Amino acid sequence: MKYREFAPPADLQHIVHFYWTLSTDNTAPAFSPFQTIANGCTGLIYHHTNNKLAFAEDGTNKLPRLFLYGQFTSHGALYMSPGAQIIGITFHPHILKMLFGLDANEVTDQAIDADLITPGLVNKLQQAETAEQCFQLFSTFLRQHIRQKESSNFAIAHSIDRIIQSGGNIPTHKLYKSLNISERQFERRFKQNVGLTPKFFSRVIRFKYALNQVRNNNYQLLSDIAFDNGYADQSHFTREFKEFAGLKPSGYRSREATFLCQKLEQAVAV
């Protein structure tokens, strides 16, 4: 299994965190599992080989050749065939509606056939021989969509930035009051653009900061992480960690399985 990340062109960095590739060799077990976590990210994934990424270990429930995925609200698993390569784009949290005209909450915890909203892109990608050529096609496609739909909700983008800078601990009322809109209006617009409520997104960001401490072994006691990140107590922290990562902090091991948003500074940057 080999995972790599690639910086997007400078003119696309305001919508794309990074491009990435993930491949397995021909000797890998059939349908090797990759654990995923709630991570605040959305994106596109393309199967560069004919092997399909699948939800189920027996090879059923196969995903489309090119698919768009929304926010995750919990942990999960994907399964990949031996000798397969997948190529992806990881977007900023508020980009889906701007690029594709989709309410982001409609694709939360979903994977949809991107050929339905990006006609012709799959055919072009199938002609590409290398990952670099796929990246070029992605970049061309995104530039065309930006020119056609260059309208982003800057108020929501600013709110996302404030949530991230606070480590997920800014009170929601400070966000909507600063925009001079009601709580209901703010939550509706946030869900349309991000796919999660502001409070749930804040929980995910707080989890990501805590996860970073666990990965870097930057603590003496688990209660230190709970305190540093604003959890009520250690049991609260452990419960949320397990909800989003699928296991307790004490059992977590950094692994390539969380490839959909591997680096904290990239996963939460805007």
Does the residue 8 lie in any domain?
Answer: yes
Task: CATH number of the domain at 19, please.
Answer: 2.60.120
- Do both 114 and 46 map to the same domain? yes
Q: For 166-225, what is each residue's pLDDT tens digit?
A: 999 999 999 999 999 999 999 999 999 999 999 999 999 999 999 999 988 889 999 999
Q: Is 236 helix (H, G, I), strand (E, B) or coil?
A: helix
Out of 121, 149, 177, a domain closes at 149
- Do both 115 and 210 map to the same domain? no
By DSSP bridging, strand 32-36 and strand 76-80 are: antiparallel
Does the residue 265 lie in any domain?
Answer: no
* Close Cβ partners of 4 (under 8 Å, ≥ 6 residues apart): 20, 21
- Do both 201 and 166 map to the same domain? yes
Out of 90, 121, 149, a domain closes at 149
The residue with greater pLDDT, 102 or 138, is: 138
Q: At what angle do helices 154-165 and 183-194 cross, to 10 degrees?
A: 90
- Do both 224 and 181 map to the same domain? yes
> Model-level pTM?
0.88
What type of residue sits at position 138? F
Question: What pLDDT sits at residue 266?
Answer: 39
- Do both 219 and 242 map to the same domain? yes
- Do both 144 and 158 map to the same domain? no
Question: What pLDDT sits at residue 133?
Answer: 97
Report the chain's mean pLDDT, rounded to a whole number: 87
How many domains does the structure of the chain reveal?
A: 2
Question: What pLDDT sits at residue 145?
Answer: 84
Does the residue 70 lie in any domain?
Answer: yes
DSSP alpha helix (H) spans, the chain: 96-100, 121-127, 131-149, 154-165, 172-178, 183-194, 198-215, 222-228, 234-245, 264-267
Domain of 232, in residue numbers = 154-249
For the cut 50, the answer to whether the pLDDT of residue 74 exceeds it is yes
The residue with greater pLDDT, 256 or 33, is: 33
Q: For 44-68, what is each residue's pLDDT tens digit?
A: 999 998 766 766 555 667 888 999 9
Question: What pLDDT sits at residue 23?
Answer: 87
- Do both 173 and 131 map to the same domain? no
For the cut 50, the answer to whether the pLDDT of residue 258 exceeds it is no
> Band of the pLDDT at 265, cuts 50, 70, 90?
very low
